[in-house]
Structures are given as structure tokens and as C-alpha cells.
Amino acid sequence: MILASLLPSRRRSTAATTIAASRLRSVTRTHVGRVRAINEDRVFDRAARGLWAVADGMGGHAGGDIAAQRIVDSLQTLADRPTRIDDDMIEAALNAAGRRIHTEASGSTRVSGSTVVALHIEQGAGMLLWAGDSRAYRARDGGIEQLSRDHSLVQELVDSGALPRAMADRHPQAHVITRALGAMPGAVIERRAIDVRPGDLFLLCSDGLTRGGADPLLPGPAGDSLDAVADALLANALALGGADNISLVLIAVDHAPG
């Protein structure tokens, strides 16, 4: 993104909680990839609060990795509160992290910032919040839909009709993003309300997972286990070269037991 070993080195976690009439299960993976020296990605998984995120830092060691960690730290502080959290509070926490990243990078010649994609599910309703090209997908009824829209130069070219979508990933400026928390003051976080149904499977990921342009292949949660799906997604990204850090969160929405 502008502005190694294989699977045994991955970091992973698994969590589950019950909200309203649905049970939420989630797993995470993050991997440095086959080319980069450090992992500038961070994942956040608090299923008990219905909150997940992926942050993809930019700026190299002591830049991008710290920026992404600032986002996770801010969400962690919010999720640790004993009271209810809402979507406005999540956006405020992300904006606070962006301001801190920008302040800490002031005076440095190196750009520091991070993309983010976050999902909040409460009482059968969801809110997606993002900035940059980290993505959110939903698998439902045998199909898959990209829920987020990249904040990137090539996405703007595609939207204007200047570039065919099939050529977007091969464009020489494919990894130039137009929004990132901390890289500029007041980066706008986009929000999208989404419906959530039992049987849905959500994927949050950094762009290292979607290199190559194709949407990831996601079965329904009734198929392979979440761990197996996460491992397969990571292995596929590595097989395609692993040129970037690779991170993902999978969230399955099941009927609550009983």
C-alpha cells in the first residue's frame, strides 16, 4: 500500500457470543506475507461487544504498525467500557485514533496512517465503518457481495468510466489510497447500515487478501468450519505471492441455540 514464512507464523483467535436471537462466532488471521519484513496490519475481535476491525498501516516500521495499533487500542478502550457502545462512539474512537496518529507523526518526513474497516452488530442490525481500501464482504444465500467501496485512485477511475473494473488491480497506481486515518487531518470515515440475518458470513480484510482483483471465495457458515475457511483464504493469498501483509476477520451469524 502507498501514502516470511508460511502458515505456522500466523496469529489467530476465535470468539463467540449471543446477541438477540443470533449467535455470533468469529475468527481472525494476520500474516506478514512472503515479501514484507514486518506486519503493519492489526486485527480487532470483541465478539462479546459485537465489534470487529481490520487496520492496515502505512509508513513502514514504527510508522504503519504503530498507526494500525493506535486504531486497535482506541477500539479496545471503547470496548472495555462497562456501558453500551453505539455506532457514533465507534466513529469517535476511530477519529480520535486518527488525530493521535497525525499528531505523533508531525515533524516526521515519513507519512504514517492506516486504513480501517470495522463492523458493529447489535440486536440484529449492523453498521459498517471504513476509510481506505480494507474491505468488507457478506456471503449470503450462495452469493458474495462487497459491502464497502474502496477509497482509492483506481476506484475513482472505475467510477468515472475511465478504467474498466477488470483492469483496476493491474493499474500501476492500484495501491494509491485517497483516505487513511492519520495520514491527513480529518479523514472522513464512511458508514453503511447493513441488515444481518442468521446464516450470514461476514469478512473484513486488508488489501493483501484481495490482491489479484477477484472477490474471495466464501462458503456459507454451514459448510466448512470458520477456522478451515480462514486458513484456506490465507493459504490462497500466500499462494498468489503474499506480496503484502494479509489479515482477515470472519464473523458467522448463527441461529441462537435453544
**Per-residue pLDDT tens for 18-55?**
555 578 999 999 999 999 999 999 999 999 999 999 99
Residue that the C-alpha cell 463467540 belongs to: 16
Q: Please indicate, yes or no, if residue 18 is contained in any of the structural domains.
A: yes
18: exposed, middle or buried (C-beta count within 10 Å: 0-12, 13-18, 19+)?
A: middle
Q: Which residue has the higher pLDDT, 172 or 22?
A: 22
**What mean pLDDT comes out for the span 91-104?**
94
Q: Please indicate, yes or no, if residue 2 is contained in any of the structural domains.
A: no
Q: Please indicate, yes or no, if residue 1 is contained in any of the structural domains.
A: no
Tell me, what's the pLDDT at 4? 30
State the CATH number of the domain containing residue 180. Answer: 3.60.40.10
Q: Please indicate, yes or no, if residue 152 is contained in any of the structural domains.
A: yes
Distance in angstroms (rounded) separating the CA atoms of residues 238 and 248? 13
Residue 167 has pLDDT above 60, yes or no: yes
Q: Please indicate, yes or no, if residue 219 is contained in any of the structural domains.
A: yes
Supply the pTM of this predicted model. 0.88
Give the DSSP letter string of the chain: ------GGG-EEEEEEEEETTEEEEEEEEEE--SS-SS--EEEEEEGGGTEEEEEEEESSTTTHHHHHHHHHHHHHHHHTSSS---HHHHHHHHHHHHHHHHHHHTT-SS--EEEEEEEEEETTEEEEEEESS-EEEEEETTEEEE-S---BHHHHHHHHTSS-GGGGGGSTTTT-BS--BTTBTTPPPEEEEEE--TT-EEEEE-TTSSTTSPPPP---TTSS-HHHHHHHHHHHHHHTT--S-EEEEEEEEEEPP-
Residue 103 has pLDDT above 80, yes or no: yes
Residue 12 has pLDDT above 60, yes or no: no
In terms of average pLDDT, the best of 147-161, 205-219, 236-250 is 236-250
Q: Supply the mean pLDDT for the chain.
A: 85
Q: Please indicate, yes or no, if residue 48 is contained in any of the structural domains.
A: yes
Bridge partners, 143 (sequence order): 140
Q: Please indicate, yes or no, if residue 117 is contained in any of the structural domains.
A: yes
Q: Please indicate, yes or no, if residue 81 is contained in any of the structural domains.
A: yes
Tell me the residue type at 153. L
pLDDT in tens, 206-231: 999 987 666 787 765 545 689 999 99
Tell me, what's the pLDDT at 5? 28
**Full domain range(s) for residue 173:** 7-255
Tell me, what's the pLDDT at 6? 29
Q: Which residue has the higher pLDDT, 183 or 9?
A: 183
**What mean pLDDT comes out for the span 138-148?**
92
Domain count, the chain: 1
Position 186 confidence tier, pLDDT thresholds 50, 70, 90: confident
**What mean pLDDT comes out for the span 105-132?**
90
